[in-house]
Amino acid sequence: MKTKAPKATFVLHKTGRVIMLGKFKNDRRLKYAILKLEKMLIKINIKCLIKNIAIKNIVFNGKKFKFKICPYELKKIFNESLFYEPELFPAMHYFHPNTKICVTIHLNGVTSIKVAQNVINSILIHVKNKIVNDVSLQGRVQSNDLIT
């Protein structure tokens, strides 16, 4: 099902779950789209009660880096929390260790997190700390090799 204002697409499943896709500037527009879906379902004689709304993934076109990212060097540092398989997907997936956030890092920018700047800063600080603290990496990798 689609709505025109706010522009949203709803994927309805037999289990009752709904996936909503769209561009929303704030929470008010998001709630308005959900209420609009509820009204559309009532119009076609489907009784519904919307509850347990959870945001699972937020995508935004955000931070454009002023430097190049070297994914293979970052993979050496974040071997357990960073996944980069360019044959499968042309971006890196970074799972932040303290949260359940998955950051998708494209080589020219970052997408799919709510507070991108905080996570980006956290990643960069973690990279710098790892380089300084890890004696085995000091001889092989320098900070300007990771981010050029």
Residue 136 has pLDDT above 60, yes or no: no
The pLDDT assigned to 55 comes to: 67
Q: Do 132 and 66 belong to one domain?
A: yes
**Does 89 lie in the same domain as 131?**
yes
The pLDDT of residue 20 is 81
pLDDT at 135: 41
Identify whether residues 64 and 134 lie together within a single domain.
yes
Do residues 71 and 121 both lie within one domain? yes
Looking at the structure, tell me whether residues 35 and 84 fall in a common domain.
no
CATH of the domain at 75: 3.30.310.10
Q: Are residues 127 and 68 part of one domain?
A: yes
Domain count of the chain?
Answer: 2
Whether 114 maps to a domain, the answer reads: yes
Mean pLDDT of 114-123: 59
CA 52 to CA 114: how far, in whole Å?
19
Cβ within 8 Å of residue 147, ≥6 positions away: 67, 68, 69, 70, 124, 127
Do 133 and 92 share a structural domain? yes
Q: What is the mean pLDDT of the chain?
A: 70
For residues 74 and 83, the answer to whether their CB atoms sit within 8 Å is no
Residue 14 lies in domain = 2-43
Q: Would you say residue 51 lies in a domain?
A: no
Split at pLDDT 50, 70, 90, the class of 139 is very low
**Weakest mean pLDDT among 80-89, 109-118, 133-142:** 133-142
Same domain, 74 and 99: yes
Could you tell me which residue, 28 or 142, shows the higher pLDDT?
28
**Quick check: pTM over 0.85?**
no
Q: Is 65 helix (H, G, I), strand (E, B) or coil?
A: coil
Lowest mean pLDDT among 82-86, 106-110, 136-140: 136-140
Q: Is residue 34 part of a domain?
A: yes
Residues 75 and 131 in one domain: yes
Q: Rounded to an integer, what distance in angstroms lies between the CA atom of residue 6 and that of residue 134?
A: 50
- Assess if residue 13 is contained within a domain: yes
Q: How many Cα atoms sit within 13 Å of 51 on the Cβ side?
A: 2
